[in-house]
Amino acid sequence: MRQINLLPWREAQRKQRQREFGILALMSLVAAAVIVGGVHLFFDNRIEYQTARNDFLQDEIQKQKLVEKEIKAMENTKTRILGRMEVIQNLQTSRPEMVHVFDEMVRVLPEEVYLTRVQRSGEALALVGVARSNNLVSDFMRNLRDSGWFGEPSLQIINNKEVLGIRASFFELKVAKKRLTAKAEDQAS
């Protein structure tokens, strides 16, 4: 005998399709969750990596700023030291120069002219003194000008007064000191 299936076959087929659809929907949902989770983890990982790189770069920038400050401090120290060395070198070269200047001053100073004060400011000398007459002051200025160690003298003040019954000329003049090379120093001496 033949068996007759009295169950509605369409209903069973519909239930089967719904079950398959539910399983596929669940699998699609799980696959979508895995894909979204994977993408999220990937981008999270990339963001953490970039943040770590940014932090590293910020640390390196801070180190470079410290190095830059140290370099500037060293450059300032170098500049100060070079300035000191230049002052010392100028003092070394001007030390024998002043001896020559005073030696030359004695040679060009006429008799009866007396210096009461010699003051140096930079390369200029301010000479204050007393002479027996204005002519002796003129001779002194001429001798300074003709010397190889001095420039053109400039008379600032001259006053004629009588001191203890003797007429005297009180003067103040300025003269530039020439800077001579070693060869010129030998010739001037």
Question: What is the set of domains in the chain, with CATH numbers?
Answer: 89-188 (3.30.1360.100)
Length reported for the chain: 189
* pTM attached to this predicted model: 0.49
Each residue's pLDDT expressed in tens, for the chain with a length of 189 residues: 677 766 677 788 889 999 999 999 999 999 999 999 999 999 999 999 999 999 999 999 999 999 999 999 999 999 999 999 998 887 777 777 777 777 888 888 888 888 898 888 877 888 899 998 888 888 888 888 888 888 888 888 888 888 787 788 899 988 887 765 444 445 544
